[in-house]
Each structure stands twice: as structure tokens, then as C-alpha cells.
Amino acid sequence: MQGIRFGTDGWRAIIALDYTVENVRRVSQATLAWARRKDVQRVVIGYDCRFGGELFQREIARVLAAGGLECLLSQGIASTPMVSLGVVHHRAGLGIVVTASHNPPSYNGFKLKSAVGSPLLASDVADIEMEIPAAADEPAESFDALLASGHIRMVDLQGGYVDHVRRNFDLDCIRTNVRLAYDAMYGAGQEVMQILFPEMFAFHCTVNPGFGGTPPEPIARNLSEIMKHLAAHPGQYTGVATDGDADRVAFIDPDGNMVDSHHLLLLLLHYLVEHRKLTGTVVASFSVSSKLEKLAKHYGLKYVTTRIGFKYIAEVMLQEEVLVGGEESGGLAMAGHIPERDGIWIALTLLQYMATTGKTLQQLIDEVYKIVGPFCYDRIDLPVAQGVIDRVRQQLSEGIRSWGNHAVVRADALDGYKYFLEGDRFLLIRPSGTEPVLRIYAQGTDATDVNHLLALAREGLAL
């Protein structure tokens, strides 16, 4: 029987190949064994728009409910933040989301959330992984029988999330001052955003498990439709996009230009310090721009760098008063909310920032540039064989002194290999923790500079 391993954020596998009812039951039985040891009594289970989501949700519930846990199931699709908030609201000891987040449509997955709504600690995930049996037992009772007996209950996670948002944001102010275009990427944010902003210009707000053939990751190459629309109607809309399970976010400015997560983190920190007068630790993953550390130091705030994967940021959030936490891939978190990424929550925070100041995204970015200086960033993902990844790792481990005519000022191997170059440039090379690709990240002065750095990396590594 195939071995199951949890990656950067949960277990993900290709549907019908490795992500099967049998294997989902195996992981569920391991989760049940862990939950019993931890005295977990109640679990919240949700699913997003991927193929078979409800089927897998019910199979997980059958295993856990038959084992004595009270299972609260989402009525319909639910984003990961909805499940995390639901865990807190219903005082559950565990949350499970059937999702593969931003992965290609052929994948599904199994995310685990703690009692406070954060990703489950890495040590707990490792314990669950060790418990996975070689084969799964068929649950003794049917889903309908467990539902009738009250061991399984359906709950309205969406309604609870919408109410929570309405209590914390001035939605009328946002509607009055910002014309919103929103791309759900066929993902789990679609229903909530249509409830909150029925007048918005909507893209891909239907359920399509094939995601139109595009991975639901909110990066420029996957957002061409909304970007082209905004470019064709300059100055009219501000664009927002969330990923498959709506825990990641991206913005598109009124001219159709992508605003990456590095800039969103800078804007979020600037807003919380300058306008809301908050303080706290700033936490970011290894791939985030060095400009964030520069801004944190400008404000006299502690800065912590973690390995890539939001679970590492969440660990710091559980130990310290964190003001802002985030990763390059668009997963951002902030004080005053659950210790979890939430694409919609972050989007609303920044939209309210724009609405209350009357400034555009670019005007707000220019304010930050006065402190940290302008920059550009991009990332390429290369599908390669494991042998190529091993070769690249070996080459990088032997040391790199320069990339083209750019001397390496210093290097860091916290998670992959990151090379700091002169002029606030950097290159980072690492294999993905969620899919079989090699990622190359670059920061430079402008798009031409960044593309040159990416080309140097590919040339130097024979990729």
C-alpha cells in the first residue's frame, strides 16, 4: 500500500490515483487515533469546490463519528478560513478541510486545523502521519445512520463567517468608495463575496472542479482574464482574487497590473502601524522580500523569518503577539483575527484602507516606497524530474559565488538556497513542498532586471 506523506500544508495527492476513498479513510483513522490521545471531542469538517469534495468529507465524518467524535459538517462548500473560524466558534478541538488549495485541478487534499484555528502544529501532523495504517477498515455505520443519531451534524459555516465579517468591517464605506472586481478562480470564496458585494464585477464565481484548466493560484499567469478586463477599463475597478480554498489573496490595480503578496504585506504593515497604531512582531517566510524586514526595522518591530509553509508562521503566532504574518504565495494573516491565512479578510482590510484614505493602490504603494525603495519580484515554476532536483541541490550545496556578473553578498539555506545580491536583489531556488516542481524566485529593481536574474539562474543550473 502506497505511503502517505504530509507536505508543506497537509496531504495532497492526485484524485483517483492516490487520493482515493481508501486512502482518505486511512488518514482519517490516523487522525482519529491522534484525536483520542489528545482528548478531542468535536471536529469541524469542510470541503471546497474540488472534485469529490462532499464525498470525501462524508467519508472522513463516517470514520471519526464511528470512532466517537462529534462531527460538525459544513452545509455546502466552505473556505479554509471558514472552517478555522468554525472550529473556534463551535469550540471544537480539530478542523479538517478537504482541499488541495492552489494545486492543479487533478489534486485534492486533507488540511488539519488546531483548536484555535491555526494549522495543526508540525509535531502533531508528524504524529498523525506515523499512525497511518497500511489499510483502512470500512466504517460500521452509514453516513445517514450517524446523521440520524446526532453523531454527525450539519452547520452553517458560511453564515457564521459572513456575520463575523459584517461585525468587523464597514462594508458600506468600501462599496461607496471602491468599485470591486473579484475573481474567485472557481474557488470557495465565491459565495461569501457575492453575498457581501452583490454589485461587484465577478469572474469565475461558479463551481467548476476543473477550474477552467488553470490551477487556482492567484498569480499573474493565472489571472489574465481579470487583468485584461481591468486594463481595458483603466481606473474603474480594483481587482481581488483568492485561491481555491480562499486562504490566499492577490490584488490587481485599476490599470490591470498584478500587485504581488510582497507589496500587500508591506501595505498591510504600513496600514496597521501608521493608521491603526498597532504594534507587534512581524513574521514572514523565507521567500518574502527583504523589503518587509526593512519596513519592520523602520518601525522598530521585531522581525522573524521562518521556513516556507504557513504552519511555521502560525507557530510563532501562537507564541508571540504577531502583528503581521505572511508568505510569498499570498497567504497573509494579521492581529485581531484567527491565527490563519484568510484571503477575504486581508482583502477587506486593504480595501477599507483604500476606502478610508481615498487613495489608490499605487498611491499607497508609493508611500511605502518612500521608506523601503521600489522593487520588482517574480517566480517561475519548472516541472522537473526528481533526479534534476537532486542534481540542482548538489550543485547549490557546493557553493555559488556569483550569478552572472552579480556577486553573492551572502547566502542562506534555511529552506532552499537564497542568494542575496547587491542592490537589494536576491535569487532563491527550492523544490516545492506541495507539487513536483522546482521554484526559482527573484527580486530586482524592475521587471527587466528580474527576468534577467531568472534567466541567469536557469542558465547557471542548466534548466
Domains along the chain with CATH numbers: 11-160 (3.40.120.10), 162-257 (3.40.120.10), 261-372 (3.40.120.10), 376-460 (3.30.310.50)
Dihedral pair phi/psi, residue 400, rounded to 5°:
-125, 125
CB 309 within 8 A of CB 9: yes
453 half-sphere exposure, CB direction, 13 A CA radius: 32
Q: How long a stretch of residues is the chain? A: 463
At 434 the pLDDT is: 72
User: Would you put residue 422 in left (φ > 0), alpha (ψ -120 to 50) or beta?
Assistant: beta
At 288 the pLDDT is: 97
CB 259 within 8 A of CB 279: no
Q: Which of 435, 442, 438 is nearest to 419 (CA)?
A: 442
Query: DSSP letter string over 231-296?
Result: HHSTTS-EEEEE-TTS--EEEE-TTS-EE-HHHHHHHHHHHHHHTT----EEEEETTS-HHHHHHH
Residue with cell 540542482: 392
370 half-sphere exposure, CB direction, 13 A CA radius: 6
What are residue 354's DSSP bridge partners? none
Q: Is the pTM of this model over 0.85?
A: yes
Contacts of 333 (CB under 8 A, 6+ apart): 310, 313, 314, 317, 322, 324, 325, 326, 339, 340, 341, 342, 346
Residue with cell 502583528: 323
Euclidean distance between the first and final Cα of the chain, in Å? 34
CA 186 from chain centre, in angstroms, equals 16
CA 231 from chain centre, in angstroms, equals 26
Regions of the chain with pLDDT less than 50: 1
